[in-house]
Structure 1
């Protein structure tokens, strides 16, 4: 079985991607071929060489420049858009189906993930008649400070609001449903203020056509995780990263993989240099996130109001 997997990074995230890649490699089956495509905005030849050194006989690693992909996709016609290609790259995962028209199904992973089981288990999940599979966002499901944002701004019950850091995509169905075209229509007509850009669009547009995946395939560290449980993939979303903090879930597994990459020294140095002012900044980022969400509750035009009008 051939399994297409997509990531997207720039040079800053190359060390983190190396850990995710190494953990993925460490949990592969010789029965499968894993084709990893790294989408990038800027990624030096040195970083590409380091990342590709993690490839194996059954894990291929290739690179694809986002600017080139978007130029091909829109035939360099900026008149099609109200945003330039650089702005559109924020929403790259919404265009994977169009950028890779020969692929029928794929996995998308954020770089701050740690693979704990063979990713083939995720790929083999049947999406049924839906085009997208994802795990609910566990922070928004429980955080009282963000409780009303998904419902009031995005138009999705917070218990059904998904995290876009791990996606199982039926690319053929996304093309058939013209998903990216519908997204572009919204982007061109409205300038929504959002706290999670592409994730909010994904939730608003696909909430009625979403397969909810088992939590094990996107166990998010914003909530407590049973480290002895059935965990397929750990997602270090938001602020408490193992290369910044020592008291994080699965830190031993993270560093075991990290020490097998060309970036081991860089990552250890990053951890040792993270100081009190950095942790204070993380706390402030969370406070700003909550403040922004509360401000957006007052906006008269939101994804929820616009899409509810289209449905009615």
Structure 2
């Protein structure tokens, strides 16, 4: 079985991606072929070479420049592209179906993930009639300062608002539904202020048409979970990252994996250099999210108000 998997990074995240790739390879079944595409904006030849060293006989790693992909995507119809390509690259995961028409189904993973089981288990999940599979965003479901944001701004109940760091995508259905074109139309007509950019668009456009995946495939470290339980994938989203903090879920597995990558020393140095100033900055970033959400509650034109009229929804 061939399993297409997408990541997207720049040079800053190469070391993190190496750990995710190594963990994926560690659990890859010899029965499958894992076709990994790393989308990038800027990624040096040195980093590409280091990341390629993680590849095995059945874990293949290919690099694809986002600028090139977007240029190809829009070269036949420049009227579709009213925004600068550089601006659109932040929404890359919403264009995977359009950029890679040869794939029918795929997985998307953020770089700050640690694969704990064979990712084929995720790929084989049946999405039913839906084109997107994801796990709910666990922080927004319980954070008293942010839990109102999905419903009031995005138009999705917090319990159904998903995290876009791990996605199972039926690319054929997304193309049939013209997902990318609908998103572009929405983006060009409105300039929404959001706290989670592409994640908010994905939730709003696919409201009530997402298959909720087992939480094990996106155990997020923003909330407590049983690291000794059935964990398929750990997502170090937002601030609790093992290369910054010691007391982080599955940190021992992370470091055992990291120590077998070409970036082991770089990651250890990052941890050693993270100080109280950086910790305080994380607190400021969280408060900034809360402040932005509170400001957006006052906006009259939001994803919720626009999508409630049926614009661009699936």
Q: Which runs of 4+ in 1 moved over 2 A?
A: 76-82
Match in the other structure for 2:233: 233
**1:215-294 superposed matches below 5 A:** 215-294=215-294
Q: How many residue pairs align between the two structures? A: 312
Q: Measure the CA separation in 2 of the matches of 1:80 and 1:31.
A: 42
Q: Measure the CA separation in 2 of the matches of 1:10 and 1:105.
A: 24
Match in the other structure for 2:33: 33
Q: Measure the CA separation in 1 of the matches of 2:79 and 2:275.
A: 47
Shift of 1:81: 2.7
Match in the other structure for 1:147: 147
Shift of 1:209: 1.1
SS of the aligned residue for 1:253 comes to: helix
Is this contact kept in 1: 2:136–2:162, CA < 8 A? yes
Q: Measure the CA separation in 1 of the matches of 2:147 and 2:260.
A: 40
TM-score of the two chains, using structure 2 as the length reference: 0.98
Q: Measure the CA separation in 2 of the matches of 1:16 and 1:77.
A: 36
Match in the other structure for 1:169: 169
**1:50-199 superposed matches below 5 A:** 50-75=50-75, 78-199=78-199
SS of the aligned residue for 1:145 comes to: coil
SS of the aligned residue for 2:186 comes to: helix
Match in the other structure for 1:295: 295
Q: Measure the CA separation in 1 of the matches of 2:154 and 2:36.
A: 31
Shift of 1:240: 1.3
Q: Which region of structure 1 is more displaced relative to structure 2, 257-266 or 76-85? A: 76-85
Q: Measure the CA separation in 2 of the matches of 1:76 and 1:17.
A: 33
Q: Measure the CA separation in 1 of the matches of 2:271 and 2:186.
A: 41
TM-score of the two chains, using structure 1 as the length reference: 0.99
Which digits, 9 at most, give the CA deviation of each residue in 1:263-284, with x for residues without a partner? Answer: 0000000000001000000000
Q: Which region of structure 1 is more displaced relative to structure 2, 74-83 or 17-26? A: 74-83
Q: Which runs of 5+ in 1 are unaligned?
A: none
Shift of 1:78: 5.0
Is this contact kept in 2: 1:217–1:231, CA < 8 A? yes
Match in the other structure for 1:211: 211
SS of the aligned residue for 1:310 comes to: coil
Is this contact kept in 1: 2:80–2:184, CA < 8 A? no
Which digits, 9 at most, give the CA deviation of each residue in 1:91-134, with x for residues without a partner? Answer: 00000001100000000000000000000000000000100000
Q: Measure the CA separation in 2 of the matches of 1:237 and 1:76.
A: 37
Match in the other structure for 1:12: 12
SS of the aligned residue for 2:308 comes to: helix
Shift of 1:163: 0.0
Q: Measure the CA separation in 2 of the matches of 1:226 and 1:88.
A: 37
